[in-house]
Amino acid sequence: TVTGARIHGVLGELIGGEENFFRAVTLLRDAGVASDDPRAGELIGQAREMLREDQPKGLEREAARWILANHPATGVDDLLAWVAGGEGQDSALPALLRRPAGQWEGKALEQWEKIPARARGSLLAGMSPSTVLSAIEQRRLSASEVGFQQQRRLRSHRATTIRERAIMLFGEEKSFSRTEAVSYYRPALRLDGDVRKGKEIFGQRCILCHRSGVAGAGPDLATLRNKGAPMLLENLLGPDLEVAPQYLLWELHLKNGDVLAGAISEENATELTLWAGDGSSRKVEREEIAKMVNLNRSLMPTGLESGLSRQEMADLLAYLTGGGK
């Protein structure tokens, strides 16, 4: 349309006339303009030159990585190198996960020891079930690195062969009724918890959704610490008893037949952002959606305590109630 063309032209002039590289990239990003848009051409060249000469620091370096990470010409080898180097976690990692898993999962496993621990959970969640299980079977990957929620998804996978392999590798999941779980774990409130061990448990089972100071699928650690241990235990064992609207689980049925599930973290008239239980997010255009269903459940699944002893629950509660400050 004429209006669209005018907006396109004005934005191009704003970006082209902005001498500060960081502000120009911010304009581009905030306007939702893709990195391969013609208006980004000059900025792409600047970003490549900056990183080649190792010039920029701070915000400019982050901006250069963001615009290159989101450009289709940037290969998965470069994205993996940035992730493995500990830089560009907020740009390279999401960009890599948007590529088909077959393009990068094998390469990621080849350099697994170089990849920072904080990126491994997201990469594992983005890999195909067969790739994850094969890597464990071939001892290229430890079964303990696969998070609890991903293990649960693999054990209940719709493909029989995947389910059987997962159960063979991870074992059967023990399950309690909620009443049995409360009865079993209540004595943990009287035990002294080990904060260090509690932090390890939190990292294994909770951190993908509950990251301090980072927008995610669940409340951050600072919010959790406002509750006492008895209430935290109740919330852990019965996550569906009291659910804030922003953490409700939604099911999106797309017109192409796909079904997505997660909490809606952002939305406007044209699109929404869906946070999944593995800590990943996906933007979905409203025109792609055939039906939205509120499941009236928490994004946090029941049974996350499965396999924990009473002492381990006490350790986790010690960390959650402030020991990890």
Q: What pLDDT digit, counting tens, does each position of 255-287 carry?
A: 988 888 888 888 887 889 888 776 677 889 999
In a domain, 188, yes or no: yes
Q: Which two tokens stand for residue 263?
A: 């909490």
Q: Clarify whether residues 258 and 291 are in a common domain.
A: yes
Residue-range definition of the domain harbouring residue 249? 245-298
| Lowest-confidence region among 34-43, 115-124, 260-269 | 34-43
In whole angstroms, give the CA distance from residue 90 to residue 100.
19
In a domain, 194, yes or no: yes
Residue 110 carries which DSSP code?
A: H
pLDDT of 11 reads 40
Q: Clarify whether residues 202 and 225 are in a common domain.
A: yes
Q: Clarify whether residues 270 and 231 are in a common domain.
A: no
Q: Clarify whether residues 207 and 316 are in a common domain.
A: yes
- Distance between terminal CA atoms of the chain? 54
In a domain, 8, yes or no: no
pLDDT of 135 reads 97
DSSP three-state, residue 214: coil
pLDDT of 57 reads 63
Q: Give the mean model confidence (pLDDT) for residues 15-32.
A: 59
Q: Clarify whether residues 233 and 312 are in a common domain.
A: yes
Among 263, 167, 270, 269, which Cα is nearest to 216's? 263
Write the CATH number for 223.
Answer: 1.10.760
In a domain, 225, yes or no: yes
Q: Clarify whether residues 268 and 283 are in a common domain.
A: yes
* Residues written for the chain: 325
Among 224, 182, 209, which Cα is nearest to 313's? 182
Q: Clarify whether residues 192 and 267 are in a common domain.
A: no
Q: Clarify whether residues 319 and 276 are in a common domain.
A: no
**Phi first, then psi: what are they for 288, rounded to 5°?**
-80, -20
| Lowest-confidence region among 12-21, 66-75, 76-85, 295-304 | 12-21
Write the CATH number for 292.
Answer: 2.30.30.100
In a domain, 228, yes or no: yes
- Beta-sheet strand order (sheet of 289-298): 281-285, 271-275, 259-267, 248-254, 289-298
Q: Clarify whether residues 235 and 313 are in a common domain.
A: yes
Query: What angle in degrees, to the nearest 10, is found between the helix axes of 195-205 and 310-318?
Result: 90
Domain count, the chain: 2
Q: Clarify whether residues 206 and 221 are in a common domain.
A: yes
Q: Clarify whether residues 311 and 266 are in a common domain.
A: no
In a domain, 265, yes or no: yes
Q: Clarify whether residues 265 and 287 are in a common domain.
A: yes
Among 61, 200, 207, which Cα is nearest to 120's? 207
Q: Please, which pLDDT band fits residue 58 given cuts at 50, 70 and 90?
A: low
pLDDT of 5 reads 35
In a domain, 18, yes or no: no
pLDDT exceeds 80 at position 74:
yes
In a domain, 252, yes or no: yes
Residues 158-209: tens digit of each pLDDT: 899 999 999 999 988 766 677 888 899 999 999 999 999 999 898 888 876 7
